[in-house]
Amino acid sequence: MLLMKAGQYLAEKNISINEIQKPTVQSGEALIKVLCAGLCGTDMMIYFGKHPRAKAPLAMGHEFSGVIEEISGDSLFKIGDRVVVEPTISCGNCSACISGQNHVCESLQLIGIDMDGGFAEYVVVPIDRLHKTPDHLSDSIASLAEPVAVAVHTVRKSKLKIGQDIAILGAGPIGLLIGLIAKLNGANTIFISDISPYRLKVAKELGFHVLDANRISITEEILNRTNERGVDVVFEVAGTQTTAEQMIDIIKTQGEIVVVSVFKQPPTLNLAKMHYREISLTTTRCYSSDDFKTAIDLLAQGNLHVSPIISHELSLDEINKGFLLMENPETSLKVLIKP
């Protein structure tokens, strides 16, 4: 039996480096040697034992790049190809899938959540989930394709128009990436708020108007800077009761709120405030395959200045350090694991 090293989630706040069986390939699958995998908020939800689907033991990691070591079945891919993995697995039979909206499949699963993922030396992936990594794109930047796809889908789903002002509530990796994609799509002033000075420092370096929620009233500041009008689009990316209230208070009449967060606790919303000003509310879930391809293209073209979002690159043996870093937004943004 061939063994490999994996960082396995075993229980709440319990990640162990173990030797487990190296997966074998079936027809239509490829064995991927993982080169780089990103830690994200969903991984933290699993780490804290809060994810409704993830079951131990599990090698997490749904944002990853790698190289094909073995492949079975007809494909344009070959052994040695560097690839990025689109981790969504849809059923193909539900009404969403039949209508071409596989990303909102009624039984959507993700590699690294519902099955072993990229926090391991090797992972088996369906061939149709693979995308070729452009030759000049580093493994680290390629591993960001998944969160960039989330940002692409979010901005595409919005009604953002050239020259409009936006506010992003939450300066984590997804919030920052939404800002970068919105800038490419013609957003004018981009406000971004957070409670972390470190994350706001990175946001400022990326050219955004930063708002420190620890020091000022976000609502008062944005209304003051927009002559009491409010912004055209708000992207809520923090998932707190506070930001759920702010998003309604800072949006203009007939503006649009886009909720990206998965709220850990259901927020209380003042729908009357939205009703009288005809506020539109939009929600998003992950991305389509077209969004994923666009994300890779944008990264390959060098149109996105994403390097500042990478705060740490660690070995698989250091994965526990990665989770500890992610617990503190003052010390991390995107933590990458390199098996």
What would the two tokens of residue 201 be? 């420092």
Given a cut of 90, is residue 94 above it in pLDDT? yes
Q: How confident is the model at residue 264 (pLDDT cuts 50, 70, 90)?
A: confident
185-202: average pLDDT: 97
Residue 97 has pLDDT above 90, yes or no: yes
Residues forming beta bridges with residue 21, ordered by sequence position: 3
Two tokens at 141? Answer: 């930047």
pTM above 0.95, yes or no: yes
**CB distance 167 to 234 below 8 Å:** yes
3-state secondary structure of 234: strand
Confidence band, pLDDT 50/70/90 cuts, at residue 331: confident
Average pLDDT of 24-43? Answer: 97
- The CB density around residue 214, as the number of other CB atoms within 10 Å, is 9
pLDDT mean over 308-328: 96
Pick the more confident residue, 264 or 10. 10
Each domain of the chain, given as residue ranges in start order, spans 3-144+306-338, 151-283
pLDDT at residue 74 above 90?
no
The mean pLDDT value of the chain amounts to 96
What's the number of CA atoms in the CB half-sphere (13 Å) around residue 30?
Answer: 26
Domain 3-144+306-338 top-level CATH class:
alpha beta
* Residue of 29, 9, 25, 27 whose CA lies nearest to 17: 9
- DSSP string over 154-184: HHHHS---TT--EEEE--SHHHHHHHHHHHH
Angle at which helices 289-301 and 145-157 pack, to 10 degrees? 110
Instruction: Say if residues 288 and 96 touch (Cβ distance below 8 Å).
Output: no
| CB environment 226-255: b (16+ within 10 A), e (fewer) | beeebbbbbbbbbbbeebbbbbbbbbbeeb
pLDDT in tens, 44-54: 999 999 999 99
CB burial of residue 279 (10 Å; 0-12, 13-18, 19+): buried
211 three-state secondary structure: strand
Q: Using 50, 70 and 90 to split pLDDT, how confident is the model at 120?
A: very high
Higher pLDDT, 131 or 329: 131
Question: pLDDT for 205-215, tens place per residue?
Answer: 999 999 999 99
CATH code for the part of the protein at 151-283? 3.40.50.720
State percent of the chain over pLDDT 90: 96
- Please state, in angstroms and rounded to a whole number, the distance separating the CA atoms of residues 308 and 312: 10
pLDDT at residue 12, as a whole number: 96
- How confident is residue 1, by pLDDT bands cut at 50, 70 and 90? confident
- Cα distances (angstroms) measured from residue 36 to each of 53, 144, 305, 320: 24, 9, 19, 16
- pLDDT tens digits, one per residue of 280-302: 999 999 999 999 999 999 999 99
